[in-house]
Chain A
Amino acid sequence: MSTDTAPEVARPSEAPRQPDGSSRVRRELVRFMPLIILAVLLVLLSLRNPDLLTQRSLTTMADSAAPLMVLAVGITVVILCGGIDLSIGALASFASVLTALWVPSMSGAVVVPVVLVCALAGVVQGWIHIAARVPSFIVTLGGMSLWTGLALAFSGASTVAVTDIAALRWAFTRIGGTVPSALVIALGVVVVLGAVMRFTPFGRWVASVGHAEPAARLAGLPVSMVKIAAFGVSGACAGLAGVLLVARTFSGAPTLGESLLLPAVAAVIVGGTAITGGHGGLFRTVVGALIVVLLRTGLSLIGVDAGFEPIFYGVLIIIAVSVTIDRSKVAVLK
Chain B
Amino acid sequence: MSSPDTAQPRAADAAGPAPPLGPGPAASGGRLVWRPRGTDAVQTTASLAALVLMILVFSVLDAQFRSWDNVVAVVDAAAVLAVVTVGLTFVLLLGAIDLSVEGVIGACALTVALLVANSRTGLDLGVLGVAATVALGAAFGLLSGVLSTRLRIPSFLTTLGVYAIGLGVATILFSGERPIVEDPWLGDWASSRFLGFTIVSWVAAGAILVGWLIQRYTRVGRYAYAIGGAEDIARLSGVPVARYKTAAFAVAGAFYGLGAVMATSQLGSGVVQAGSGLNFSAIAAAVIGGTLLVGGRGGVLQSMIGVLVLTVLQNGLILAGVSPYAQQAVQGVIVVVAVAAATWPVRHRLGVVK
B residues 289-345 near A (Cβ < 8 Å) are 293, 295, 323, 325-333, 335-336, 339-340, 343-344
Type the 1/0 row for A85-110, where 1 means its CB is closer than 8 Å to any CB of B: 00000000000000000000000000
Q: A143-B332, A315-B161 given as contacts; is B354 within 8 A of A157 (CB)? A: no
Among candidates B161, B283, B340, residue contacting A132 with C-beta atoms closer than 8 Å: B340
State in angstroms the CA–CA spacing of A179 and B103 once bound together: 38
Q: A143-B332, A152-B328 given as contacts; is B154 within 8 A of A334 (CB)? A: yes
- Please tell me if the beta carbons of B293 and A138 are within 8 angstroms of each other in the complex: yes
- Please tell me if the beta carbons of A132 and B148 are within 8 angstroms of each other in the complex: no
Q: Enumerate chain A residues within 8 angstroms of B185, measured Cβ to Cβ.
A: none
Cβ of B173 to closest chain A Cβ, rounded Å? 8
Q: A153-B323, A310-B164 given as contacts; is B154 within 8 A of A330 (CB)? A: yes
Decide if B147 is an interface residue (CB 8 Å cutoff).
yes
Binding site for A on B (CB under 8 A): 94-97, 99, 103, 147-149, 151-158, 160-165, 167-172, 174-175, 231-232, 280, 283, 293, 295, 323, 325-333, 335-336, 339-340, 343-344, 347, 350-354
- Please tell me if the beta carbons of A152 and B169 are within 8 angstroms of each other in the complex: no
- Please tell me if the beta carbons of B168 and A265 are within 8 angstroms of each other in the complex: no
- Please tell me if the beta carbons of B153 and A321 are within 8 angstroms of each other in the complex: yes
Cβ of A296 to closest chain B Cβ, rounded Å? 13
Which partner residue on chain B sits nearest A318 by CB separation? B161
Decide if A181 is an interface residue (CB 8 Å cutoff).
no
State in angstroms the CA–CA spacing of A116 and B174 once bound together: 40
Which partner residue on chain B sits nearest A138 by CB separation? B339
- Please tell me if the beta carbons of A141 and B154 are within 8 angstroms of each other in the complex: no
6 A-B pairs with the lowest CB-CB distances in the bound complex, closest first: A149-B329, A145-B332, A314-B164, A311-B168, A307-B171, A149-B328
Q: Enumerate chain A residues within 8 angstroms of B336, measured Cβ to Cβ.
A: 128, 132, 134, 138-139, 142-143
- Please tell me if the beta carbons of B328 and A145 are within 8 angstroms of each other in the complex: yes
Which partner residue on chain B sits nearest A254 by CB separation? B325
Q: Enumerate chain A residues within 8 angstroms of B155, measured Cβ to Cβ.
A: 333-334
- Known interface pairs A314-B162, A331-B232; 14 further A-B residue pairs with C-beta atoms within 8 A, sorted by A's residue number: A82-B354, A84-B156, A135-B353, A136-B353, A137-B156, A142-B335, A143-B336, A145-B329, A146-B329, A157-B325, A265-B160, A310-B168, A321-B153, A333-B154
Most chain-B CB neighbours within 10 Å: which of A141, A311, A314, A327? A314
- Please tell me if the beta carbons of B340 and A318 are within 8 angstroms of each other in the complex: no
State in angstroms the CA–CA spacing of A132 and B162 once bound together: 30
Decide if A213 is an interface residue (CB 8 Å cutoff).
yes
Cβ of A77 to closest chain B Cβ, rounded Å? 14
Which partner residue on chain A sits nearest B95 by CB separation? A334
- Please tell me if the beta carbons of B161 and A317 are within 8 angstroms of each other in the complex: yes
Q: List 24 A-B contacts (CB under 8 A).
A: A82-B354, A129-B353, A132-B344, A132-B347, A134-B343, A134-B353, A135-B353, A138-B293, A141-B332, A142-B336, A146-B332, A149-B327, A150-B325, A153-B326, A275-B154, A306-B171, A313-B161, A314-B160, A315-B161, A322-B152, A330-B154, A332-B95, A333-B153, A334-B94
- Please tell me if the beta carbons of A314 and B163 are within 8 angstroms of each other in the complex: yes
Among candidates B329, B339, B352, B354, residue contacting A150 with C-beta atoms closer than 8 Å: B329
Which partner residue on chain B sits nearest A223 by CB separation? B352
Decide if A83 is an interface residue (CB 8 Å cutoff).
yes
Cβ of A326 to closest chain B Cβ, rounded Å? 11
Q: Enumerate chain B residues within 8 angstroms of A322, measured Cβ to Cβ.
A: 151-153
Q: A153-B329, A157-B325 given as contacts; is B335 within 8 A of A314 (CB)? A: no
A interface, over-half SS: helix
Type the 1/0 row for A118-146, where 1 means its CB is closer than 8 Å to any CB of B: 00000000001100111111110111111
State in angstroms the CA–CA spacing of A311 and B291 once bound together: 31
Cβ of A92 to closest chain B Cβ, rounded Å? 16
Q: A149-B329, A317-B157 given as contacts; is B168 within 8 A of A133 (CB)? A: no
State in angstroms the CA–CA spacing of A307 and B326 once bound together: 31
Q: Enumerate chain B residues within 8 angstroms of A149, measured Cβ to Cβ.
A: 325-332
Q: Enumerate chain B residues within 8 angstroms of A83, measured Cβ to Cβ.
A: 354
Q: Enumerate chain A residues within 8 angstroms of B331, measured Cβ to Cβ.
A: 145, 149
State in angstroms the CA–CA spacing of A117 and B219 once bound together: 49
State in angstroms the CA–CA spacing of A82 and B353 once bound together: 9
State in angstroms the CA–CA spacing of A132 and B335 once bound together: 13
State in angstroms the CA–CA spacing of A82 and B354 once bound together: 6
Which partner residue on chain A sits nearest B279 by CB separation? A141
Type the 1/0 row for A246-265, where 1 means its CB is closer than 8 Å to any CB of B: 00000000000000001001
Q: Enumerate chain B residues within 8 angstroms of A145, measured Cβ to Cβ.
A: 280, 328-329, 331-332, 335
Q: A262-B164, A321-B153, A334-B295 given as contacts; is B332 within 8 A of A311 (CB)? A: no
State in angstroms the CA–CA spacing of A325 and B352 once bound together: 18
Which partner residue on chain A sits nearest B348 by CB separation? A133
Cβ of B333 to closest chain A Cβ, rounded Å? 6
- Please tell me if the beta carbons of B347 and A133 are within 8 angstroms of each other in the complex: yes
Q: Enumerate chain B residues within 8 angstroms of A148, measured Cβ to Cβ.
A: 328-329
- Please tell me if the beta carbons of B168 and A309 are within 8 angstroms of each other in the complex: yes
State in angstroms the CA–CA spacing of A128 and B340 once bound together: 9
Decide if A312 is an interface residue (CB 8 Å cutoff).
yes
State in angstroms the CA–CA spacing of A322 and B352 once bound together: 22
